[in-house]
Protein backbone atom coordinates (compact mmCIF):
# COMPACT_ATOMS: atom_id res chain seq x y z
CA UNK A 1 0.00 0.00 0.00
CA UNK A 2 1.13 3.53 -0.77
CA UNK A 3 -0.21 6.60 1.00
CA UNK A 4 -0.88 9.80 -0.95
CA UNK A 5 -1.46 13.12 0.84
CA UNK A 6 -3.68 15.52 -1.14
CA UNK A 7 -3.63 19.20 -0.27
CA UNK A 8 -4.63 22.39 -2.01
CA UNK A 9 -5.31 26.07 -1.52
CA UNK A 10 -2.83 26.81 1.24
CA UNK A 11 -2.89 30.54 0.43
CA UNK A 12 0.14 31.40 2.57
CA UNK A 13 0.59 34.29 3.33
CA UNK A 14 -2.46 36.03 1.81
CA UNK A 15 -5.13 34.16 3.81
CA UNK A 16 -3.19 32.04 6.34
CA UNK A 17 0.12 32.27 8.16
CA UNK A 18 1.17 28.62 8.28
CA UNK A 19 0.17 25.01 7.70
CA UNK A 20 -1.65 23.37 10.59
CA UNK A 21 0.41 20.78 12.50
CA UNK A 22 -1.90 17.92 11.48
CA UNK A 23 -1.34 18.75 7.79
CA UNK A 24 2.43 18.89 8.24
CA UNK A 25 2.39 15.49 9.96
CA UNK A 26 0.32 13.88 7.20
CA UNK A 27 2.65 15.33 4.53
CA UNK A 28 5.70 13.94 6.32
CA UNK A 29 4.10 10.50 6.70
CA UNK A 30 2.95 10.16 3.07
CA UNK A 31 4.75 8.29 0.31
CA UNK A 32 3.51 10.83 -2.25
CA UNK A 33 2.45 14.45 -1.70
CA UNK A 34 0.15 16.16 -4.22
CA UNK A 35 -0.66 19.89 -4.07
CA UNK A 36 -3.48 21.02 -6.37
CA UNK A 37 -2.43 24.67 -6.57
CA UNK A 38 -2.65 28.02 -4.83
CA UNK A 39 0.41 27.86 -2.62
CA UNK A 40 0.30 31.67 -2.88
CA UNK A 41 4.07 32.14 -2.42
CA UNK A 42 7.47 30.57 -2.99
CA UNK A 43 7.84 30.19 0.79
CA UNK A 44 4.65 28.12 0.98
CA UNK A 45 5.82 25.96 -1.95
CA UNK A 46 9.21 25.44 -0.28
CA UNK A 47 7.56 24.46 3.01
CA UNK A 48 5.28 21.86 1.44
CA UNK A 49 8.13 20.49 -0.70
CA UNK A 50 10.38 20.20 2.35
CA UNK A 51 7.77 18.06 4.14
CA UNK A 52 7.47 15.62 1.25
CA UNK A 53 9.89 12.78 1.92
CA UNK A 54 8.88 10.88 -1.22
CA UNK A 55 7.46 11.96 -4.54
CA UNK A 56 6.09 15.52 -4.75
CA UNK A 57 3.71 16.71 -7.46
CA UNK A 58 2.26 20.21 -7.70
CA UNK A 59 0.29 22.26 -10.22
CA UNK A 60 -0.15 25.99 -10.68
CA UNK A 61 -3.19 27.66 -9.20
CA UNK A 62 -4.59 31.04 -10.16
CA UNK A 63 -2.92 32.67 -7.13
CA UNK A 64 0.54 31.15 -7.63
CA UNK A 65 3.52 33.24 -8.73
CA UNK A 66 4.53 32.41 -12.32
CA UNK A 67 8.18 32.13 -11.31
CA UNK A 68 7.42 28.91 -9.43
CA UNK A 69 7.38 27.28 -12.86
CA UNK A 70 4.52 24.94 -12.00
CA UNK A 71 2.61 23.22 -14.80
CA UNK A 72 -1.16 23.66 -15.14
CA UNK A 73 -1.71 19.87 -15.20
CA UNK A 74 0.27 16.87 -13.94
CA UNK A 75 -0.35 13.16 -14.12
CA UNK A 76 1.16 10.56 -11.86
CA UNK A 77 0.89 6.86 -11.26
CA UNK A 78 0.67 5.42 -7.78
CA UNK A 79 0.95 1.70 -8.20
CA UNK A 80 -1.37 0.90 -11.07
CA UNK A 81 -3.70 3.86 -10.50
CA UNK A 82 -3.35 7.10 -12.44
CA UNK A 83 -4.14 10.54 -10.99
CA UNK A 84 -4.69 13.69 -13.05
CA UNK A 85 -4.05 16.87 -11.06
CA UNK A 86 -5.36 20.31 -12.07
CA UNK A 87 -6.24 23.36 -10.01
CA UNK A 88 -9.53 24.07 -11.78
CA UNK A 89 -9.27 27.85 -12.09
CA UNK A 90 -12.02 30.16 -13.27
CA UNK A 91 -15.63 30.76 -12.43
CA UNK A 92 -17.47 28.21 -10.32
CA UNK A 93 -19.96 28.07 -13.20
CA UNK A 94 -18.61 25.30 -15.40
CA UNK A 95 -15.90 24.31 -12.90
CA UNK A 96 -16.90 20.65 -12.77
CA UNK A 97 -17.08 20.35 -16.55
CA UNK A 98 -13.64 21.98 -16.99
CA UNK A 99 -12.08 19.57 -14.49
CA UNK A 100 -13.79 16.57 -16.14
CA UNK A 101 -12.57 17.64 -19.59
CA UNK A 102 -9.01 18.02 -18.32
CA UNK A 103 -9.04 14.58 -16.69
CA UNK A 104 -10.41 12.97 -19.85
CA UNK A 105 -7.86 14.74 -22.09
CA UNK A 106 -4.85 13.91 -19.92
CA UNK A 107 -5.57 10.38 -18.71
CA UNK A 108 -4.08 7.21 -20.12
CA UNK A 109 -6.22 5.06 -17.83
CA UNK A 110 -10.03 5.15 -18.09
CA UNK A 111 -10.14 4.69 -14.30
CA UNK A 112 -7.92 7.70 -13.60
CA UNK A 113 -8.82 9.78 -10.55
CA UNK A 114 -9.15 13.55 -10.95
CA UNK A 115 -7.68 15.80 -8.26
CA UNK A 116 -8.49 19.51 -8.18
CA UNK A 117 -8.64 22.49 -5.86
CA UNK A 118 -9.85 26.08 -6.29
CA UNK A 119 -13.26 25.83 -4.59
CA UNK A 120 -11.91 25.21 -1.04
CA UNK A 121 -14.74 22.67 -0.69
CA UNK A 122 -14.12 18.99 0.09
CA UNK A 123 -15.38 16.68 -2.61
CA UNK A 124 -15.25 12.95 -3.30
CA UNK A 125 -17.74 11.82 -5.88
CA UNK A 126 -18.07 10.12 -9.22
CA UNK A 127 -19.28 12.37 -12.05
CA UNK A 128 -19.96 10.86 -15.48
CA UNK A 129 -17.85 7.85 -14.55
CA UNK A 130 -14.86 9.86 -13.28
CA UNK A 131 -13.94 9.98 -9.60
CA UNK A 132 -13.22 13.58 -8.61
CA UNK A 133 -11.39 14.52 -5.41
CA UNK A 134 -10.96 17.98 -3.93
CA UNK A 135 -9.21 18.12 -0.54
CA UNK A 136 -10.54 21.61 0.31
CA UNK A 137 -8.14 24.15 1.81
CA UNK A 138 -5.25 22.80 3.88
CA UNK A 139 -5.24 25.98 5.98
CA UNK A 140 -8.97 26.62 6.09
CA UNK A 141 -8.50 29.70 3.91
CA UNK A 142 -11.71 31.58 3.15
CA UNK A 143 -14.23 30.59 1.90
CA UNK A 144 -13.51 27.27 3.67
CA UNK A 145 -14.88 26.83 7.19
CA UNK A 146 -12.06 24.55 8.36
CA UNK A 147 -8.66 23.19 7.38
CA UNK A 148 -8.98 19.92 5.46
CA UNK A 149 -6.91 17.57 3.35
CA UNK A 150 -7.23 14.00 2.09
CA UNK A 151 -5.23 10.84 2.40
CA UNK A 152 -5.50 8.24 -0.32
CA UNK A 153 -4.36 4.67 0.25
CA UNK A 154 -3.65 2.84 -3.00
CA UNK A 155 -3.25 -0.95 -2.99
CA UNK A 156 -3.81 -3.44 -5.79
CA UNK A 157 -5.76 -0.89 -7.85
CA UNK A 158 -8.09 -0.02 -4.97
CA UNK A 159 -8.31 3.58 -3.83
CA UNK A 160 -9.43 4.36 -0.28
CA UNK A 161 -9.96 8.06 0.46
CA UNK A 162 -10.23 9.71 3.87
CA UNK A 163 -10.84 13.36 4.69
CA UNK A 164 -8.53 14.59 7.43
CA UNK A 165 -9.61 17.46 9.68
CA UNK A 166 -8.07 19.04 12.73
Q: Which fold has domain 2-165?
A: Purple Acid Phosphatase; chain A, domain 2 (3.60.21)
Q: How far is Cα 84 from Cα 127, in angstroms, rounded to an integer?
A: 15
pLDDT in tens, the chain (166 residues): 999 999 999 999 999 999 999 999 999 999 999 999 999 999 999 999 999 988 999 999 999 999 999 999 999 999 999 999 999 989 999 999 999 999 999 999 999 999 999 999 999 999 999 999 999 999 999 999 999 999 999 999 899 999 999 8
* Exposed / middle / buried, residue 24 (Cβ in 10 Å: 0-12, 13-18, 19+): middle
Say whether pTM exceeds 0.85: yes
Domain residue extents for the chain: 2-165
Amino acid sequence: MRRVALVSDTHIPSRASELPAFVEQELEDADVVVHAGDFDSADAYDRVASLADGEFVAVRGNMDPRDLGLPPVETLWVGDRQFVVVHGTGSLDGYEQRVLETVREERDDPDAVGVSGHTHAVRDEVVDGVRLLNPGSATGASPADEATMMTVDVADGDVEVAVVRE
